[in-house]
Chain A
């Protein structure tokens, strides 16, 4: 029983990280049709911004306070980078999908190379508060406490994004734009301003995912964004491009399947099982779970 509880909570915790990585990606594709391969670079930028904040602040502040500030900086840096990338690189290329892919792939490669050039290729340890590095007993299972932080962060972001989408004018424009961007423009609404905001939101979520990914791995590294990005893409394809709820369900499913397969089959089978899950979902429901952008 305790094994099951451990696997479910850690699986959902992993899924929470995937959700944070995938939510921005899903919104950006859903509204703008942009496959943002630079999203992994946003995550790395957030992770390094957080790490630099953690190491740059005086030890007298305490690890918990420094981590909280690092999270805020990661979110802000992710948002800023998302905004700048949209305005400078993506905006001139709307409706030019091949060029968008080339630019975002190029940006992700350049970002990783730049980080390796400045801070080296090795992973840098990320300090954790003692309470976060400990375990919490739930139904007989000793669960790493950081998983609860990931789940709480994902729930917070999910709730905030749902509130944004359903209770604000910006959210109304985003939902309409996901359905029919041209018609939104034809109603006199400046959809480009909305694009910038969505890119910033996606960047902020990616920045948070990057730093929390560092907390999960106990380190930040230049290549962490690339591996997270693969799972993020799988999650948005399963959940439905542009569907936040579908993304949340898919993220939890991917995390659980990966964790259960790693435990009950063999270590490493989890990655394969995630790809199999993607194949099964696409075979059964080619339009994905939510069917957006089918």
Chain B
């Protein structure tokens, strides 16, 4: 497996919004992340890729502080490894978890008011990006479709000013039309806040990602421009075990 790009410069951006240095995560007897290092540029979408179980979700959780971590995590130059999850989020790191994790017993409006103070579903950004949610403000989030729940999960982090968004598999389990909608939203959001995106859907990565970081067995094995990886079928197959042509047909 090629590790050439992984041993090169951490980033092409002179001032990364996020720098991860020698990050380790251990759960019980398992060493999940084994010295992960990469940068997230201050603009655009950085996709965190890799096969199932290599530590992508754990990396996002470790950045936020939801996983026990050692090593360095710098947000805009500030060391955040001792910060609480709450402080990290309040300092501008938004998190959209895998499987949405909306509060099913709360209405759409209540889900949004949790983070948005008194703006909720009436916030301009909600109306602009998720007009369907405005009409469903009184509906319990647990009764929404998967795509609608994903919109709630995205909308509630966008109600805060973000310096960085951590988004974990936002298209997982969604119908193709909804995948396109979510990708469109992420592309628009990335114009105002950089995104560190965990995504298995390679056409989505090809469409919106600028840079990629590939993990394998808890280590970074590739980092570079998204186009470079996506335009190289052999490298894609080698690193991710999939063919871009097959992905594109799906």
Contact = CB atoms under 8 A, between A and B. Distances in A.
Nearest to B117: A169
A269 to B, nearest CB: 38
A56 interface: no
B103 A175 contact: yes
Interface string A137-168: 00000000000000000000000000000000
A102 interface: no
Nearest to B116: A187
A172 interface: yes
Interface of B: 64, 66, 84-86, 89-90, 95, 97, 101, 103-106, 110, 113-115, 156-157, 160
A14 B113 CA distance: 39
A188 B104 contact: no
Contact of B95 (A169, A175, A186, A191): A186
A169 B101 CA distance: 20
A180 interface: yes
Nearest to A191: B86
A182 B115 CA distance: 14
Most chain B CB within 10 A, of A173, A186, A189, A190, is at A186
A187 B89 contact: yes
Contact of A182 (B66, B105, B156, B160): B66
A176 B114 contact: yes
Nearest to A182: B66
A179 B103 contact: yes
Contacts of B103: 175-176, 179-180, 183
B238 to A, nearest CB: 34
A175 B105 contact: yes
Given A172-B114, A173-B114, A176-B114, A185 B105 contact: no
B101 A175 contact: no
Contacts of A184: 114
Nearest to B113: A172
Nearest to B96: A186
Interface of A: 169, 172-173, 175-176, 179-180, 182-191
A186 B64 contact: yes
A30 B210 CA distance: 43
26 contacts: A169-B113, A172-B110, A172-B114, A173-B114, A175-B103, A175-B106, A176-B114, A179-B103, A179-B104, A179-B105, A179-B106, A180-B101, A180-B103, A182-B66, A183-B101, A183-B103, A185-B84, A185-B89, A186-B64, A186-B97, A187-B89, A187-B157, A188-B115, A188-B160, A189-B86, A190-B86
Contacts of A190: 86
Given A182-B66, A186-B66, A189-B114, 10 more contacts: A172-B106, A172-B113, A175-B103, A175-B106, A179-B105, A185-B66, A185-B89, A187-B89, A187-B156, A188-B89
Most chain A CB within 10 A, of B86, B90, B115, B160, is at B86
Nearest to B141: A179
Contacts of B110: 172, 175-176
Given A172-B114, A173-B114, A186 B89 contact: yes
A287 to B, nearest CB: 14
A182 B97 CA distance: 11
A161 to B, nearest CB: 16
Contacts of A191: 86
Kindly list the 5 A-B residue pairs having the minimum CB-CB distance in the complex, ordered from nearest. A188-B89, A188-B90, A176-B103, A185-B85, A183-B101
B97 A183 contact: yes
A189 B103 CA distance: 14
Contacts of B156: 187
Contacts of B101: 180, 183
Nearest to B92: A188
B160 to A, nearest CB: 7
Nearest to A185: B85
Given A172-B114, A180-B101, A185 B106 contact: no
A3 to B, nearest CB: 42
A115 B247 CA distance: 71
